[in-house]
Amino acid sequence: MSDPIASITAFEALDSRGRPTVGCTVVTRAGARGRAIVPSGASTGSHEARELRDGGERYGGYGVRRAVANVEGELFDAVRGIDVTDQGAVDRALRQADGTPDGGRLGANAILAISVAAAEAAATTRGLPLYAAVGDGPRTLPMPMINVISGGAHAARSLDVQDFLVVPVGASTFAEAIETVSRVRAATGEVLRDGGATWALVADEGGYGPLLSSNRAALEVLMTACERARLLPGDDIAIAIDVAATQFHSPAEDAYLWDAEDRRFRSDELVDELVAWAADFPIVSIEDALAEDDWDGWRMATERLGGIQLLGDDLFVTSPDRLRRGIAEGVANAVLVKPNQIGTLSEAREVVGIAHAAGYATVLSARSGETEDHWLADLAIGWNTGQLKIGSTMRSERTAKWNRVLEIERELGGEIALARPAFAGGS
């Protein structure tokens, strides 16, 4: 079924932090429409695809009028007449038109907007929901990894570690998983309030942004909250951590600096800290334990924390080449997949395929600057990533994705099950 791209319109939208981002609509010759608004990250790795921003005074330099113009101009010219159902051809044309490794000439934000909108239009052309249109293999509902306490770049660095998340490993359905974490989040607010900590501050991704005495204190708060919610740590819930170590790594000093605790670490000392946490708390996943180019540190962490999901975000930046290097060197055992880190859906899906073939787990992830779109939820199901990391259970740009998975679970009924990652009893 061929349906060529006939027109593209774009606009400057706002993300969840009030910063501009790119929205666009793709329309085919047969009248199928696909619309997308793309996200943007705050904790970004240096190897990520590069957004195009305007600079100047508008929006503090974050305007995207040039990227919007490129969507309607050079990038549209590149994909005009291409069959919208051929995602690979659309994405190759976009990358070739830009001509740079990082998408920076025309803007990775502009490129991804067309890539996603084309996928939405293709699903309409084929008369399928997006999750069915983007994947033809096995499907599961993703195990959610849900933000409850934030620090780092997501919460004005109130804590050095970026995110403390809850994983509902004991849930048997996605609906139960969301309800379980909602109980933990509510109990966490009570624990923070009763302890005299700030509990009304909300971080970028909807988690609490408290001022605590230490990073370890965040883990202790979560344990107390689980007890208050009458949940068993390790059986009903587990903990995931996004260390985001690149954000506090000093290459000049070859050290990791925790300003909130006035501590500094060598790579091996930071690993020691994480090993101690893993011994004392039900931690099943650690993201970006070391900095993006600390490959020696990552090898050490993989050797010492091999029983835990070690998730590469800044390390791999959804790059097929960096992931292949990690696999070859035995570094980490899971990859965070963010389509806007690489620029197109085809390249992001390639990373999922490479990871699965090598036995690496995959976690599809939103960004701190999100939008009301819910296409990420469909990708998690269609690509069978097994895990989904969106943010917390509040703020509409977060709940839009969780609600989409809940909707799909209701529609498919017993035809689809909740994924069971290795740490939740899966294979």
- For every residue of 261-272, which 3-state class applies, written as one string? CCEEECHHHHHH
Reported for 405-414, long-range contacts at CB under 8 A and 24+ positions apart, including other chains, are 405/141, 405/142, 405/144, 405/174, 405/377, 405/380, 405/381, 406/174, 406/175, 406/178, 408/129, 408/131, 408/141, 408/377, 408/378, 408/381, 409/141, 409/173, 409/174, 409/175
Instruction: Kindly state the greatest CA–CA separation across the chain.
Output: 62
Could you give phi then psi for residue 418, rounded to 5 degrees?
-75, 130
Distance, CA of 347 to CA of 338 (rounded, Å)? 10
Distance, CA of 400 to CA of 377 (rounded, Å)? 9
Q: Is 39 helix (H, G, I), strand (E, B) or coil?
A: coil
Q: Which of 51, 120, 287, 338 is catalytic?
A: 338
Nearest to 77 by CA among 96, 63, 64: 96
For the record, the structure tokens of 411 come out as 């529609």
Q: Can you name the residues that pair with 285 across neighbouring β-strands?
A: 240, 309
Instruction: Report whether 176 contacts 168 (CB < 8 A).
Output: yes
Q: Which of 48, 51, 120, 205 is catalytic?
A: 205
Cβ burial of 306 (10 Å; 0-12, 13-18, 19+) is: exposed
Q: Is 60 helix (H, G, I), strand (E, B) or coil?
A: helix
Sign of CA dihedral 381, 384, 387, 389: negative
Distance, CA of 220 to CA of 353 (rounded, Å)? 37
Strands 255-258 and 263-265: antiparallel
- Residue 25 burial (CB count, 10 A): 19
389 is catalytic: no
Measured in residues, the chain has a length of 427
Torsion, Cα of 81, 82, 83, 89 (10° steps): 180
227 is catalytic: no
- For every residue of 332-381, which 3-state class applies, written as one string? CCEEEECHHHHCCHHHHHHHHHHHHHHCCEEEEECCCECCCCCHHHHHHH
Which residues belong to the active site? Answer: 205, 338
